[in-house]
Amino acid sequence: MIDTLRLSAEQATALVARGDVSAAELHRAYIDAIALRDPELHAYLTVCEEHDGGTGIPIALKDVISTKGIRTTAGSKILEGYRPVYDATVTERVRAAGMSLLGKTNTDEFAMGSSTENSAYGPTRNPWDPSRVPGGSGGGSAAAVAAGLAPWALGSDTGGSVKQPSALCGNVGLRPTYGTVSRYGIIAFASSLDQVGPVARNVRDCALLYSIIAGRDERDSTTVDVPAAVSLPEGDSLKGLRIGVPREMNSEEGVDPGVTAAVRTAIEQARALGAEVGECSLPKSVEYGMACYYLIAPAEASSNLARFDGVRYGFRADADDLTALYGRTRDQGFGDEPKRRIMLGTYALSAGYYDAYYGQAQKVRTLIRREHAEVFQKFDLIVSPTSPTIAFRFGEKAANPLAMYLSDIFTIPSCMAGLPGLSIPCGLSEGMPVGLQLIGPQFAENTLFRAGHALEQALAFDVVPGRLR
């Protein structure tokens, strides 16, 4: 019997390569695990039970990633029943690597949220404690990997939607440098911020999956060639690595005590492994990052979501004329969070307000980039908690959008700057995982993998949820 709860992607690949199991048998083992555990967790919106002929190991994809002929909803009623006629570039690349598709994972509607409570198809539950959220927007991918329902998965990250759920579910999650992974075929939220990233059980798996999806794509003009080949990390020394600790992102204010304690232990472990650790500062990024994000992202969402009108695909409301069709379709098809962001973004882009809001936010974004660049003249990486809290309980923040938005206060600044970030589990608080965020300059993924792997070995975090061991 295959123990999917403890099987890494690298180990699964070796099993298939040696002929110990066939690709089809491995796929079936995960489908059986999904049948056993997913009724409680609801990590998947669509399950692909039949093996599609892939010669390697399986994968799960967040339901904003287009899959030809397979339902792709972005967690929204307005795309209920939509089946794309093409694959996203990342879908093509994982298929070309031999991976079979296990299914499409749950997400906050149009990737807008921090808890996966905004999905039109119901919330996903955290495998560590089903009374708590898995984070968001990619809570389905994070929960699937944590519960052994997929060896790895792809998510999308706009302001923290790979890193934050990875932290809350005890996974490793990477938001790559903006432009290193194609957005072609990804249902857009905020185009200047969206980036696809891997969710995995350990850092080596994360690096391997990134190496498969990264690289220039002629169908996405924002993509670039990755300057250096992705290397799988080895060793446990951090000698020569300079790690900065931003005081604004590592203070005790607004951060759970258990999170603070686990992150401090990890930082001391980095010092013990030979890293040079020093304090730094990102005052503008932390003070203005959240406000900047919630002008730019909704503005871009307002434009991107205008295409969903009930005419060409997806949900269509009953109406007597075209104007009524547009209004009723969007009113009935979108949930509260997309509506909130569409209205906010439309206002920020409207005549008379563009310069005061959207234009000003773009100037602040430039300051955030520059501030990070200055820090990286002295340090190779910076560290902080990924999330200020452990996974919170369902409904705890649902009625207070601002409290929900603050879940991403530490992940947003580097996303605004287009920088890569890696979240690794660094301990437990109240029996729930705590995530450590590592941020690097552009194209520093290999450095992130090196540091993350060394810390992972030293911290020896057991990624299997306590209740499932």
Q: Which amino acids are annotated catalytic? A: 62, 137, 161
Amino acid type, 464: V
Q: Is the separation of the CB atoms in 463 and 171 below 8 Å?
A: yes
Alpha carbon distance 349, 366 (integer Å): 19
Nearest to 168 by CA among 417, 393, 360, 395: 393
Alpha carbon distance 272, 221 (integer Å): 43
Nearest to 289 by CA among 375, 376, 189, 364: 364
Q: Is the separation of the CB atoms in 214 and 225 below 8 Å?
A: no
Q: Is the separation of the CB atoms in 315 and 80 below 8 Å?
A: yes
Instruction: Output the six-digit token pair for 263.
Output: 């992150």
| Half-sphere exposure for 83 (CA within 13 Å, toward CB) | 6
- Distant-in-sequence, close-in-space partners of 190: CB < 8 Å, separation ≥ 6: 158, 296, 297, 298, 300, 301, 304
User: Tokens 């660094």 appear where?
Assistant: 426
Q: Is the separation of the CB atoms in 446 and 422 below 8 Å?
A: no
Q: Dump the DSSP string for 400-443.
A: -HHHHHGGGTTTHHHHHTT--EEEEEEEEETTEEEEEEEE-STT
